[in-house]
Amino acid sequence: MHFKGKFQPIYRAAQNLRLINCNFNDLIGEIPAMFGSLSKLAELSLFSNILTGVIPPSLGNLKLLKKRSLGSNSLSGIIPDSLGSLINLIFFGVGENKLFGTVPPSLFNLSSLTDMFIPSNQFTGSLPANIGLTLPNLRSLAVAINGFTGPFPTSLSNASRMEMLDVSINNIFGPIPTDLGRRMMNLSWFNFGYNNLGIGGAGIGGAGDLSFIDSFTNCTKLQILGINANDFGGVLPDAMANLSTQLDKLLLGRNRLVGSIPASTSRFVNLGALGLEYNYFSGTIPFDIGNLKNLQALLLAGNELFGAIPSSIGNLTRLFLLKLEENNLTGSIPSSIESITGLQIANLSYNSFVGSIPKAIGLLSTLRSLDLAHNSFTGSLPEEIGKLQNLQELYLSENKFFGGIPSTLSECLKLERRYLEGNTFQGIIPLSFGSLKGIVDMDLSLNNLSGQIPIELETLIYLKNLNLSFNNLEGEVPLEGVFSNTSIVSLQGNLEVCGGISELQLPTCPIKKIPKERNKLAFRFEIIVPVVASVILVALLVFLYRKGKPKETVNSQSLFKEEFLRVSYDDLLKATDGFSLTNLIGAGSFGTVYKGILHHDDKPVAVKVLNLEQLGASQSFIVECEALRNTRHRNLLKLVTVCSSINHEGNDFTALVFEFMPNGSLEDWLHPLGDSLSQSRNLSLAQRFILFLHEFSKRALSEQVMEILDPRLLLEESNVAINNNESQEVREAKLRECLTSLVRIGVACSAESPGKRMYIKDILKELNIGKELLLGDEIHVRRHIRMHLIGEGTSRPGD
């Protein structure tokens, strides 16, 4: 049953109540003073509720009360003196409230008391010097996280039944009795952390401050030993090696201890936490530390340790917290770290580590914080870092990392803080960083990043600090989101950025100018023009082959309603693996062709990068795009898209992207290299006839090529409506001249040597001559010729 709300009035029938246990509920309001009239009550347990107000003094009337547990509430005020009259009280708990003042001295005279829990309040004063005598049955004394002062009570050496003694986080000073633990045979929890117990003994950081450790060798049940942050000095006593092997937590950090880490530490095989941080330990990390296979937290930060991380650290498969920062450690991150698959926090900062981050880092899927800052790590960040799906903090600042920032970092969707400043990272800021919706701090300053600031960063609504200063960024600064607040964003040291809000005081962005046209208009296309010419010839043959077939209706509008992809220089750079030689298909004086895979649909494409150093390249590029836009045929490579941009060096970049032809070029099929005469390509008879015809057209004179034309192309013109003022002979002459001109173009464009092929401007000139000959009132003639040349009447989709 779960209770909530306020206590209801108590009726006479409740006067015989012996127990009130309402732990772990949602009770609110004050503790009723009427509870003091329940004279037979032996237990009052209201632990973990939402009670407020003060402790009623009337509770001192409960002479039979043995257990009073009021912890984990929001009670305030003082402990009433009347509670000192509860002579049968065994358990007294008021921890985790808002109580203050001094604890009534009468409460320390209740000889029946075995457990006193008053931690996490605001109590002041000192512990009675004779507490170990007046409370002879004391088993648990927890006064941690208060404001107690004064000396440590030496009489506690007499508390032979003590099992837990926690006086941590107070202002108690020493010395600690050297025989403190000699009679505490059942002691399992001893925590004196965060006091001033090293003061007043052998002096601050004195050599004899830890002499009391010898008395704890009799505590065979000891599991927790916490003496951290007390200014203890000297070396660890030899008696440390004789402590209980049941030890689970050994907390010695934030003292003034010197010497090396004892090799005997490895005998504590049940140890779950080893805290030696912020002392003056020197030497190396013992290799035998790998024997602590139950270790979950290893704290060695802030010492003078040197050498490499032992490979045996990979044996600590249960480790979730590793803190080695602020030492003199060297070497690289051992590959064995991949075995610590439960690691959540790793801090190796402020050392002298070298080498690269191992790819195995991606196996640490539970990692939440990785701090490698202020070392000498080199190399590029592994793509595998994107597998750290739980990563919230990444600190890589002040190292020697180089290369691009991997876009896979954007897959760490829980990332809140990322500090990469002070390296030599290059390339652009990945656009995908816009997907890190929970990012709060991002520092990419003091690198060699270039390109524009991604506008996608505007959407990072939780971003409170964006430092992009001292890079080589350029272009217009976004206006919205983080970029609208000068106290959040830092851009100084980027000399080429412009625009942004006025408060940034950046120069106005210049109006983009259209690149000047080159002087030379002649520009040959080693790949496209021959293909276009070949298609014209093949179209003639297709007409012969399909003349007698039934006509099919084709929606010509669908052929031209294709939406071109938008690709950038970086898209093509990634698609071709950086325009690598392994992806090179061919090269000529006007461009280079690479095979690539676009991320849009993972289909292979051929990317022709134009050599813009050739004069007239810009105008010829526009002419070629116009020609390809208006040309469709099933045997002509389809233009997927075009790209006109700027590369990472700031130079103009222009490329055409075609569908990739997996079976090679027409030249390869006509003249295969390495194939014997007995070997045969898998060509049909019709395909071979087409190839032989193409070969013939390249070798024959233009007059001979006319012999392959279907005579009906000339005969059927009589059925076309032409200007009645012209004779039959004139009409035949015009049509013959037009067809002859087309064939001549096809033959010239199919020349074996690229240097003998026609310029695109000459092709257009020849076609314009034929156009002028037949246009005007003869528009129907043009349609008639076009219909037969491209097979409109008998075509199929894709022709």
Measured CA to CA, the distance from residue 762 to residue 760 in angstroms comes to 5
Beta carbons of 159 and 152 less than 8 angstroms apart: no
More confident residue, 456 or 545: 456
Q: What is the tens place of the pLDDT at every residue in 692-708?
A: 454 545 444 444 545 55
Residue spans per domain, the chain: 1-118, 125-260, 528-536+563-667
Measured CA to CA, the distance from residue 166 to residue 138 in angstroms comes to 13
Q: What is the tens place of the pLDDT at every residue in 44-77?
A: 999 999 999 999 999 999 999 999 999 999 999 9
Output phi, psi for 263, to 5 deg. Answer: -65, -25
Q: Is the pLDDT of residue 645 over 60?
A: yes
More confident residue, 528 or 579: 579
Beta carbons of 519 and 622 less than 8 angstroms apart: no
Let me know the angle formed at the C-alpha of 577 by 354 and 358, rounded to the nearest 5 degrees: 20
Let me know the angle formed at the C-alpha of 59 by 86 and 57, rounded to the nearest 5 degrees: 110
3-state secondary structure 601-670: CCCEEEEEEECCCCCCHHHHHHHHHHHHHCCCCCCCCCEEEEEEEECCCCCEEEEEEEECCCCCCHHHHH
Measured CA to CA, the distance from residue 764 to residue 623 in angstroms comes to 10
Q: Is the pTM of this model over 0.75?
A: no
What is the layout of strands, in order, in the sheet containing 4-5? 4-5, 26-30, 50-52
Query: What's the pLDDT score for residue 549?
Result: 47
308 three-class SS: coil
Which pLDDT band holds residue 657 (cuts at 50, 70, 90)?
A: confident
Query: What's the pLDDT score for residue 513?
Result: 53
**From residue 589, how far is each of 393, 403, 593 by CA, in Å?**
51, 32, 11
Measured CA to CA, the distance from residue 638 to residue 632 in angstroms comes to 8
705 three-class SS: helix
Pairing of strands 591-597, 604-610: antiparallel
Task: Give percent of the chain with pLDDT exceeding 70.
Answer: 72
Q: Is the pLDDT of residue 567 over 50?
A: yes
Q: Which of 316, 321, 315 is nearest to 343 (CA)?
A: 321
Q: Is the pLDDT of residue 713 over 70?
A: no
Q: Which of 245, 298, 300 is nearest to 276 (CA)?
A: 300
Tokens found for residue 383: 């793509």
Q: Which of 204, 298, 289, 211 is nearest to 255 (CA)?
A: 204
Query: What's the pLDDT score for residue 149?
Result: 96
Mind giving me the DSSP string for 406-464? PGGGGG-TT--EEE--SSEEESPPPGGGGG-TT--EEE--SS--EEEPPGGGGG-TT--
Measured CA to CA, the distance from residue 399 to residue 16 in angstroms comes to 73
Is 595 known as a binding-site position? no
The mean per-residue pLDDT over the stretch 15-42 comes to 92
The mean per-residue pLDDT over the stretch 237-258 comes to 95
Measured CA to CA, the distance from residue 199 to residue 202 in angstroms comes to 8
Beta carbons of 429 and 449 less than 8 angstroms apart: yes
Tokens found for residue 375: 């070392």
CATH number for the domain whose boundaries are 1-118: 3.80.10.10
Measured CA to CA, the distance from residue 387 to residue 411 in angstroms comes to 7
Measured CA to CA, the distance from residue 62 to residue 468 in angstroms comes to 68
The mean per-residue pLDDT over the stretch 350-361 comes to 96
Measured CA to CA, the distance from residue 656 to residue 528 in angstroms comes to 10
Across the chain, what does the average pLDDT equal?
82
Query: What's the pLDDT score for residue 467?
Result: 97
Query: What's the pLDDT score for residue 702?
Result: 45
Output phi, psi for 64, to 5 deg. Answer: -95, 0
Q: Residues 174-199, buried b or exposed e (16+ Cβ, 10 A)?
A: bbbbeebbbbbeebbbbbbbbbbbbb
Output phi, psi for 149, to 5 deg. Answer: -130, -175
Which pLDDT band holds residue 198 (cuts at 50, 70, 90)?
A: confident
Identify the residue whose tokens are 């990072």.
Answer: 460
Q: Is the pLDDT of residue 619 over 70?
A: no
Query: What's the pLDDT score for residue 207?
Result: 61
Query: What's the pLDDT score for residue 126?
Result: 97
The mean per-residue pLDDT over the stretch 493-502 comes to 93
Mind giving me the DSSP string for 724-761? TTS-HHHHHHHHHHHHHHHHHHHHHHT-SSGGGSPPHH
Tokens found for residue 545: 């082959």
The mean per-residue pLDDT over the stretch 494-506 comes to 93
Beta carbons of 353 and 375 less than 8 angstroms apart: yes
Q: What is the tens place of the pLDDT at every residue in 664-677?
A: 655 555 455 554 44
Q: Is the pLDDT of residue 364 over 60?
A: yes
The mean per-residue pLDDT over the stretch 369-373 comes to 98
More confident residue, 217 or 698: 217
Tokens found for residue 789: 């040349």
CATH architecture of the domain with range 528-536+563-667: 2-Layer Sandwich (3.30)
Query: What's the pLDDT score for residue 334?
Result: 96
Task: Give percent of the chain with pLDDT exceeding 90.
Answer: 59
Q: What is the tens place of the pLDDT at every residue in 285-304?
A: 999 999 999 999 999 999 99
Query: What's the pLDDT score for residue 646?
Result: 83
Beta carbons of 264 and 291 less than 8 angstroms apart: no
Q: What is the tens place of the pLDDT at every residue in 518-565?
A: 443 334 444 444 545 555 555 555 455 555 444 443 343 333 334 567
Q: At what angle do helices 779-789 and 728-749 cross, to 10 degrees?
A: 40
Asked whether the domain spanning 528-536+563-667 has the same topology as the one spanning 125-260, the reply is: no
Measured CA to CA, the distance from residue 250 to residue 265 in angstroms comes to 10
If 0-12 CB within 10 Å is exposed, 13-18 middle and 19+ buried, where does residue 714 land? middle
Query: What's the pLDDT score for residue 639?
Result: 77
Output phi, psi for 72, to 5 deg. Answer: 55, 55
> Among the listed ranges 55-59, 101-105, 586-590, which one has the minimum average pLDDT value?
586-590
Which pLDDT band holds residue 726 (cuts at 50, 70, 90)?
A: low
> Which residues lie below 8 Å from residue 335, measured CB to CB, with a gap of 6+?
311, 358, 360
Measured CA to CA, the distance from residue 640 to residue 409 in angstroms comes to 30
More confident residue, 151 or 778: 151
**From residue 428, how far is each of 115, 150, 576 by CA, in Å?**
64, 61, 18
CATH number for the domain whose boundaries are 125-260: 3.80.10.10
> Among the listed ranges 96-100, 416-420, 578-582, which one has the minimum average pLDDT value?
578-582
Q: Is the pLDDT of residue 508 over 80?
A: yes
**Running DSSP on this structure, what letter comes out for residue 217?**
G
Which pLDDT band holds residue 763 (cuts at 50, 70, 90)?
A: confident
- The CB-side HSE value for 429 (13 A sphere, CA atoms) comes to 24
The mean per-residue pLDDT over the stretch 344-360 comes to 97
Q: How far from chain centre, in Å, is Cα 361?
A: 13
**Running DSSP on this structure, what letter comes out for residue 196?**
B
Q: Residues 403-423, buried b or exposed e (16+ Cβ, 10 A)?
A: eebbbbbbbbeebbbbbbbbb
Beta carbons of 111 and 132 less than 8 angstroms apart: no
Query: What's the pLDDT score for residue 673?
Result: 53
Identify the residue whose tokens are 């010492």.
Answer: 303
216 three-class SS: helix
Other C-beta atoms within 10 Å of 83: how many? 22
Pairing of strands 450-452, 472-477: parallel
Which pLDDT band holds residue 678 (cuts at 50, 70, 90)?
A: very low
Q: Which of 143, 154, 150 is nearest to 182 (CA)?
A: 154
Measured CA to CA, the distance from residue 167 to residue 146 in angstroms comes to 9
> Which residues lie below 8 Å from residue 31, measured CB to CB, with a gap of 6+?
7, 46, 51, 53, 55, 56, 59, 70, 75
The mean per-residue pLDDT over the stretch 324-346 comes to 97
More confident residue, 603 or 148: 148
Identify the residue whose tokens are 């001292």.
Answer: 470
Output phi, psi for 142, to 5 deg. Answer: -120, 105
Most confident segment among 423-427, 546-550, 633-637:
423-427
Q: How far from chain centre, in Å, is Cα 37?
A: 63
Q: What is the tens place of the pLDDT at every residue in 261-285?
A: 999 999 999 999 999 999 999 999 9
